Structure 1
């Protein structure tokens, strides 16, 4: 569980509510059903309109990375590669066949299977790098769903504010209608800006960091597997890969 993500959400809400309380406002002043409907519904609808279904499904699937990011143990990955290289030097590349069958990481398992099948290092690199690039592109396309929501949200908030002002202008003769109209105008703006800058854009940036770290871990796997295929010394492989440690 990512503690920083949880703290970020808590602090974001606390700042808004705390600042409103210090100014003498009540929590009820920030609760407005029509404003929430306009901002949240409008933002979601606009983002869905521009997003293909396959990217939307992927965006929903990787949302959990915000609080539970993928585990990319670089030190553990290096140790695993070194063990593979030792096995390869003792038993040959065919000695990795059983290891490949037990490997839980599909990306690493594909590289090991290619190596066991006798593929040339250039072929192994090309296949694995192609998969890395395609997977990274799919994830980046999914992240754009949250980026687009963060871009639309403030504008939808302004639309909500304008609608509230229109409501106010149409009811100038009725003082009882002025309060709800003005509240809709200002609360919708708060919802739009806060949603974008406290949640949606940070979510998109956090997911990008997870994607980059995952890609770096896969690059480590590629370099390690290619080094084994080239017959490099396990110690030399370990020294080469230590640059990936953070």
Structure 2
């Protein structure tokens, strides 16, 4: 299930607000306005855009908007529910055979899980299932890497273009040394491009690239759990053994929660059975 990730916009907003507040406490409104310089912004953004266009293909650039949106989405997974799903499939497969899982596949929303279960139903060997599903993980990681590479490169280029803008400002300043009164303001303007480039790199581009990489690692981890679950179902593993195996992917806290949930389910079943007997 996808939902909005509020931490990303909050982080950018909070970082920018704290920077502006720090400037304001030292220089007031006039200090804040002195940090707004159109020519410096044009140098940094223009140079950065040109470098990105040179570095990447049109196909890669088309991924940028979609990947950018992913940084503001949070796809939540319940690992405990995933384990319960495979334990349930394992129990049904042992009772009725793998072909009985065809009715369960339609209830599975995740295409990766559905693909794995279908491979198991078709009688594919565990090694074949492992190879096919791992190949999809490799392809996913490659796609994600291409998508976040633009942000990684932007994080590298932005400070460099900030420095280039500073050098431009210094050259223009040195050409006008005959007027000492302009040296201070000119130096301030020259340094602003470095400020813009560093701020963009460390508040926007690098953090976004890091978040996208974390999302890829999380998705890879979950897909590995799915592979183990599918192979366990295909090979006819005992549901309890499969549950213990998949529980290794849980933290100790999540494992305790899973055990408590199972105990509650057992108590409910016993209570229901007792009520049924009394009713008779």
TM over 0.5: yes
Residues 1:119 and 2:124 are matched in the alignment: yes
Q: Does the 8 Å contact 1:108/1:221 carry over to 2?
A: yes
1:92: how far off? 1.3
**Which one of the candidate residues 108, 126, 133 is aligned to 2:113?**
108
Match of 2:89 in 1: 84
Larger Rg: 2
Match of 1:47 in 2: 52
Residues 1:9 and 2:12 are matched in the alignment: yes
1:18: how far off? 1.3
**Which one of the candidate residues 29, 33, 36 is aligned to 1:31?**
36
- The structure, 1 or 2, with the larger RCO (C-alpha pairs under 8 Å, 6+ apart) is 1
CA 1:12–1:225 in 2, change beyond 3 Å: closer, same or farther? same
Q: Does the 8 Å contact 2:121/2:234 carry over to 1?
A: no
Secondary structure of residue in 2 paired with 1:69: strand
Q: Does the 8 Å contact 1:72/1:213 carry over to 2?
A: no
1:175: how far off? 7.4
CA 1:48–1:29 in 2, change beyond 3 Å: closer, same or farther? same
Name the CA distance, whole Å, in 2 between partners of 1:68 and 1:137. 20
Residues 1:94 and 2:99 are matched in the alignment: yes
**Which one of the candidate residues 41, 47, 63 is aligned to 1:58?**
63
Match of 2:254 in 1: none
107-116 or 203-212: bigger deviation? 107-116
Unaligned runs of 5+ in 1: none
Q: Does the 8 Å contact 1:58/1:139 carry over to 2?
A: no
1:128: how far off? 0.3
Unaligned runs of 5+ in 2: 252-280
Secondary structure of residue in 1 paired with 2:236: coil
Q: Does the 8 Å contact 2:116/2:129 carry over to 1?
A: yes
Q: Does the 8 Å contact 1:160/1:184 carry over to 2?
A: no
42-51 or 197-206: bigger deviation? 42-51
Q: Does the 8 Å contact 1:55/1:138 carry over to 2?
A: no
**Which one of the candidate residues 19, 23, 40 is aligned to 2:22?**
19
CA root-mean-square deviation: 2.1
Secondary structure of residue in 1 paired with 2:94: helix
Residues 1:205 and 2:210 are matched in the alignment: yes
CA 1:203–1:245 in 2, change beyond 3 Å: closer, same or farther? same
